[in-house]
Amino acid sequence: MILVTGGAGFIGANFVLDWLALHDEPVVNLDALTYAGNLENLNSIWSDPRHVFVKGSIADYDLVDALLRSHQPRAILNFAAESHVDRSIHGPEEFIQTNIVGTFRLLEAIRGFLASQNEDFRESFRFLHVSTDEVYGSLAPDEAAFSEHRKYEPNSPYSASKAASDHLVRAYHHTYGLPVLTTNCSNNYGPYHFPEKLIPLVIHNALSGKQIPIYGDGMQVRDWLFVKDHCSAIRRVLERGKVGETYNVGGRNELTNLSVVNTLCEILDELRPLPNGASYKAQISFVRDRPGHDRRYAIDAAKIERELDWRPSETFETGIRKTVEWYLANDAWVENVTSGSYRQWINRQYQ
Active site residues: 133-134, 158
Question: CB-hemisphere CA count at 13 Å for 323?
Answer: 34
Between residues 198 and 206, which has the closer beta carbon with respect to ligand NAD? 198
CA–CA gap between residue 42 and residue 17 (Å, rounded): 7
Q: What is the Cα–Cα distance from 163 to 178, expressed in whole angstroms?
A: 18
Q: How far is the CB of 312 from ligand NAD (least distance, A)?
A: 14
Residues 143-202 that bind ligand TYD (CB under 6 A): 187, 197-198, 201
Report in angstroms how near the CB of residue 260 gets to ligand TYD at its nearest.
8
The answer to whether 92 contacts ligand TYD (rule: CB under 6 A) is no
**What residues are paired with 162 via a beta bridge?**
none
CA distances from 176 to 171, 172, 180, 205 (A): 8, 5, 11, 48
Q: Which does 220 bind (CB under 5 to 8 A by kind): ligand TYD, ligand NAD, none?
A: ligand TYD
Query: Which entry of ligand NAD, ligand TYD, none binds 31, CB below 5 to 8 A by partner kind?
Result: ligand NAD
Nearer to ligand TYD, 64 or 203 (CB): 203
Does 203 bind ligand TYD (CB under 6 A)? Our answer is no
Return the SS3 of 222: strand
Please tell me whether residue 132 binds ligand NAD under the rule CB under 6 A.
Answer: yes
> Should residue 215 be labelled a site residue for ligand TYD when binding is judged by CB under 6 A?
yes
Contact indicator for 163, 152 with CB cutoff of 8 Å: yes
The reply on whether position 169 binds ligand NAD by CB under 6 A is no
Is there binding between residue 12 and ligand NAD (CB under 6 A)? yes
Q: Please report, as a single letter, which amino acid is at residue 94.
A: E
Tell which residue, 200, 229, 201, 225, has the closest CA to residue 213.
201
Chosen residue from 2, 3, 4, 11 binding ligand NAD by CB under 6 A: 11
SS (H, E, C) 74-117: CEEEECCCCCCHHHHHHCCHHHHHHHHHHHHHHHHHHHHHHHCC
Q: Which does 223 bind (CB under 5 to 8 A by kind): ligand TYD, ligand NAD, none?
A: none
Which window, 3-11, 66-74, 174-182, 310-318, contacts ligand NAD (CB under 6 A)? 3-11
- 226 torsion bin: left (phi>0), alpha (psi -120 to 50), beta (else): beta
Provide the mask over 136-165, with x wherever binding to ligand NAD is found by CB under 6 A and - wherever it is not.
--------------------------x---
| 5 makes contact with ligand TYD (CB under 6 A) | no
Which of ligand NAD, ligand TYD, none lies near 85, with the C-beta cut-off 5 to 8 A by kind?
Answer: ligand TYD
From the list ligand TYD, ligand NAD, none, partner contacted by residue 138 (C-beta under 5 to 8 A by kind): none
Query: Is residue 326 a contact point for ligand TYD (CB under 6 A)?
Result: no
> Which contiguous run of DSSP H or E holds residue 129?
strand 126-132
User: Going by DSSP bridges, is the β-strand pair 254-256/221-223 parallel, antiparallel, or unpaired?
Assistant: antiparallel
Question: Binding-site residue total for ligand TYD (CB under 6 A)?
Answer: 12
Closer Cβ to ligand NAD, 179 or 200, answer by number: 200
d(CA 125, CA 74): 5
Does position 188 bind ligand NAD by CB under 6 A? yes
Q: Closest separation between CB of residue 13 and ligand NAD, Å?
A: 7
HSE at residue 351, side-chain half, CA atoms within 13 A, is 4
Half-sphere exposure of 5 (CA within 13 A, CB side): 29
Of the pair 20, 185, the CB lying nearest ligand TYD is at: 185
Residue 135, CA distances (Å) to 5, 24, 127, 331 in order: 20, 34, 19, 34
Positions in the binding site for ligand NAD (CB under 6 A)? 5-6, 8-12, 30-34, 36-37, 57-59, 79-81, 83, 98, 102, 130, 132, 162, 185, 187-188, 194
Positions in the binding site for ligand TYD (CB under 6 A)? 85, 187, 197-198, 201, 213-215, 220, 222, 257, 290
